[in-house]
Amino acid sequence: MAGAGTKRRRGVLPIAAPAHLRDKGKGLDMAEHRTEPRFEEGRFVPAYPLRRQEDGFTFIQQLGLIRDATKNPLRALSAGTFRDPVVQTSFLGYHLTQIADPAMIHHCFVENRNNYRMSALRQAMFQPVLREGLLTAEGETWKHARKTLSPIFTPKNIARFADGMKTTIDRDMPAFVRAGETIEMSQITTALTYLVLSDALFSGEISGAREDVLPLIANVLGSIGQPHFMDLVGAPTFVPRLGRGKGMAHVARLRELIREVAIRRLDQKERGDALAEDFLTTMIGAAGEGAPFTLDEIEDQLVTFIGAGHETTAQALTWMFYLLSQDTEARARAEAEVDGLDVSEAPVSWIDALPFTMACFREALRLYPPAAAILRQANEPDAFGSYEIPKDGVAMLHLYVLHRHQKLWEQPDAFMPERFLGEAGEKIDRFQYLPFGVGHRTCIGERFAMVEAAILIASLMRRFRFDYAGDTPPHPTVRLSMQPEQGMKMRVSSRE
Ligand code: HEM
């Protein structure tokens, strides 16, 4: 089928399963649903969910597809999706165009971007929690927010945040990582990246003990990005979304805590007190370029940064440590690099001093893009080559598919960090590797995330080694971010 024209396949949207349907692995033979990890031409190929072989679907096959997709959305992807540049599907009234052709990505997401809005499904998944934060806002609200928030990410501020990241990590790492223990890697990386972020956002001023705030954040993250059945069938917003209540109660509690922090800071500003140099101070208009945000807007932006700004980095780190535990040659090379790092240099410079280690991180972002899919909806009909996207049709950039596409990558499923180094790296098309998105809605926190990753990797790797300790090979699923379906147990040993 490779290279064939427009494909019409019946399928479901590859989105996260509702919490109550999530497959915890109980009573299921997971091996039936994933490949086995293997070495291919000497390169490690981690396990991944099996791809469907069907080209067209009978009704019974469709039912099977829905059942599989609610357990793991990546199981809904067919093998053809990884071979054909564009796949078009109709399902439950959606017209979906899945794009893995760099030229068409450029057309839809850059050149003709004004023809697209955020898709209704994406908004239904994120907006109840994030409201009018930067990730979900559109039009003038988005423009104002982006303009006001951009100064937070200037090189000068990133350098300052990098110093803070190192301080936070040195302070908090001993409480979470100890040699001789077996840890749940995703939980540890999520806790550390949250603590880094909360120091950068509001100097850690949120009230409540860490032991209470971290589980609250975990519950909030579990409430974002989960589509409700009513969203999938396009029911209007006044139709109750049964079962959402508990998640929304956690969100309400987080909003309360955040509002308290913001009000305290506004009072300090009013009194003329010296203000902490963090995201929040920028947001209340002390340093930004746009008009100051209202209290409601500040709250939405802070919830958005918490939702978008730490679990993503944490999951990519988790996968990278797993990949290195299987490719011990690459691990030895990365360890030698971090051991040679001059840690008296400014932390913001570490990223440039670790080219191979950061290539490993980039490769983890390729194999397991934390934000799996980018969804837009056409305002008017659009066309590219022989492909037509109807008015209200959904254009989907599935990063997991793009990053493992057979037409674009050599050994697409293999861990090969050196593909990002030197000449090989320069040959990668700008629109073939997009972990941080594309066009004007590209990730505002990319540099923050990459600098943070370098500091966290170096700090962890100089002291510890992590070996996979799970019973079965980990493989990815999509929830808020791309994560190991059955967790990531790792044994910690000392390198000091
Ligand atoms: C490895 C880590 C990260 C990855 C892979 C990632 C990925 C992405 C992607 C793909 C988008 C675009 C979504 C779309 O177009 O629909 C996005 C947007 C966004 N990200 Fe990130 N992100 C990461 C870290 C961060 C961090 C650290 C922050 C904040 C400190 C952040 C804040 C945001 C925000 C606010 C947006 C919305 C931007 C806008 O629409 O103007 N992200 N991210």
Each residue of 397-429: pLDDT tens digit? 999 999 999 999 999 999 999 999 999 999 999
Take atom 20 of ligand 1 and give the residue whose Cα is closest: 443
Q: What is the 3-state secondary structure (H, E, C) of 380-422?
A: CCEEECCEEECCCCEEEEEHHHHCCCCCCCCCCCCCCHHHHCH
Cα(409) to ligand 1 centroid in Å equals 24
In whole angstroms, what is the distance from residue 353 CA to residue 343 CA? 10
Cα(77) to ligand 1 centroid in Å equals 24
pLDDT given for residue 227 in this prediction: 61
Question: Relative to the CA of 439, which ligand 1 atom is closest?
Answer: 15
pLDDT given for residue 71 in this prediction: 74
Tell whether ligand 1 has an atom less than 6 A from the beta carbon of residue 458.
Answer: no
pTM value is 0.92
Dmax over Cα atoms in the chain, in whole Å? 69
Take atom 6 of ligand 1 and give the residue whose Cα is closest: 436
The angle at the Cα of 252, spanning 251 to 258, to the nearest 5 degrees, equals 90
DSSP string, 197-251: HHHHHHTT---S-HHHHHHHHHHHHHHSS---HHHHTT--TTS--TT-HHHHHHH
Cα(442) to ligand 1 centroid in Å equals 7
Instruction: List the chain residues with pLDDT less than 70.
Output: 1-32, 54-67, 92, 224-245, 286-290
Tell whether ligand 1 has an atom less than 6 A from the beta carbon of residue 137.
Answer: no
Take atom 1 of ligand 1 and give the residue whose Cα is closest: 313
pLDDT given for residue 243 in this prediction: 62
Take atom 2 of ligand 1 and give the residue whose Cα is closest: 313
β-bridge mates for residue 45, sequence order = 38
pLDDT given for residue 28 in this prediction: 40
Strands 86-91, 8-9: parallel, antiparallel or unpaired by DSSP?
A: parallel
Q: What is the CATH number of domain 8-494?
A: 1.10.630.10
Tell whether ligand 1 has an atom less than 6 A from the beta carbon of residue 134.
Answer: yes
- For the chain, counts of helices (H) and of strands (E): 18, 15
* Substitution site in 443, 450, 451, 480 for ligand 1 pocket (most atoms within 8 Å of beta carbon): 443
Cα(495) to ligand 1 centroid in Å equals 33
Tell whether ligand 1 has an atom less than 6 A from the beta carbon of residue 483.
Answer: no
Tell whether ligand 1 has an atom less than 6 A from the beta carbon of residue 445.
Answer: yes
pLDDT, tens only, 256-285: 999 999 999 999 999 999 999 899 998 887
Using alpha carbons, list the distances in angstroms from residue 307 to 44, 193, 219, 359: 32, 12, 11, 26
Tell whether ligand 1 has an atom less than 6 A from the beta carbon of residue 362.
Answer: no
